[in-house]
Amino acid sequence: MSAHISTSTTLSIPRSLKLVGIIGGVWAILTILAAVFAYLPGHPDFSLFSTYLSDIGDTPGWLQILFNAGTLIAVPIRYLVLVLLALRLNQLGAGRVFTIAFLPILSLVMVVFYLVFLTLMILYEQGVVSRSAPVIWEWLAISTSIVWMLAQSIRLGRADQAGLVGVHA
């Protein structure tokens, strides 16, 4: 007599989204904070208004390795959050077009910050604005990116969405 045991693993999309989103957000925050604290001893003039985050990542030595390794690890986590977010939206009844167009609409503030940063960097390269003009916009862009990821993951990571009857993970 042959006994066949079948096992399957089911992952909850809402719980996975919430977990991966929180891990991604915390990882990004810890990477930035670790890099800033490691940068401070050699650069006591550090300021969110005068020091680019990318300057920290461009500092020679182990600091550059720390920051760049942290950001390289963060990228696949962010992609996984986007995949889980799309799956969750689909699970909540959003069609494909809505899922594709939902993400950019919610990203409007983040996109605006990145556009302002890009515009100011172009103006800096042309000598129109000083080097310090775009700095805060880089910090705002990355901050809103992290907050967006955390907010979406936590809000849509709830298995029971208010106002959505009969939707279960």
Asked if residue 164 is part of any domain, the answer here is no
Q: Do 14 and 158 meet the contact criterion of CB atoms below 8 Å apart?
A: yes
As a whole number of angstroms, the distance between CA 52 and CA 50 comes to: 7
Task: Give CA angle at 57 (80, 141), nearest 5°.
Answer: 55
| Number of domains within the chain | 1
For 102, the token pair is 């939902």
Residues 68-104 pLDDT 10s? 999 999 999 999 998 998 888 888 887 766 665 575 5
Asked if residue 103 is part of any domain, the answer here is yes
Q: Do 160 and 92 meet the contact criterion of CB atoms below 8 Å apart?
A: no
Q: Do 46 and 93 meet the contact criterion of CB atoms below 8 Å apart?
A: no
Asked if residue 3 is part of any domain, the answer here is no
Residues 10-68 pLDDT 10s? 888 999 999 999 999 999 999 999 999 989 999 999 999 999 998 888 888 888 888 89
For 131, the token pair is 């080097």
Asked if residue 122 is part of any domain, the answer here is yes
Q: Say if residue 25 is exposed, middle or buried (CB neighbours under 10 Å; 0-12, 13-18, 19+).
A: buried
pLDDT at 98: 64
As a whole number of angstroms, the distance between CA 99 and CA 89 comes to: 6
Asked if residue 108 is part of any domain, the answer here is yes
Which one is predicted more confidently, 158 or 167? 158
Which pTM does this prediction carry?
Answer: 0.78
Q: Which residues contact 126 (CB under 8 A, 6 or more apart)?
A: none
Amino acid identity at 2: S
DSSP calls for 86-106: HHHHHHTT--HHHHHHHHHHH
Amino acid identity at 115: L
Asked if residue 83 is part of any domain, the answer here is yes
Asked if residue 73 is part of any domain, the answer here is yes
As a whole number of angstroms, the distance between CA 151 and CA 20 comes to: 12
Range of the domain at 138: 13-156
Q: How many CB atoms are located within 10 Å of the residue 40 CB?
A: 13
Asked if residue 17 is part of any domain, the answer here is yes
Residues 107-161 pLDDT 10s? 778 888 889 999 999 999 999 999 989 999 999 999 999 998 998 898 888 876 5
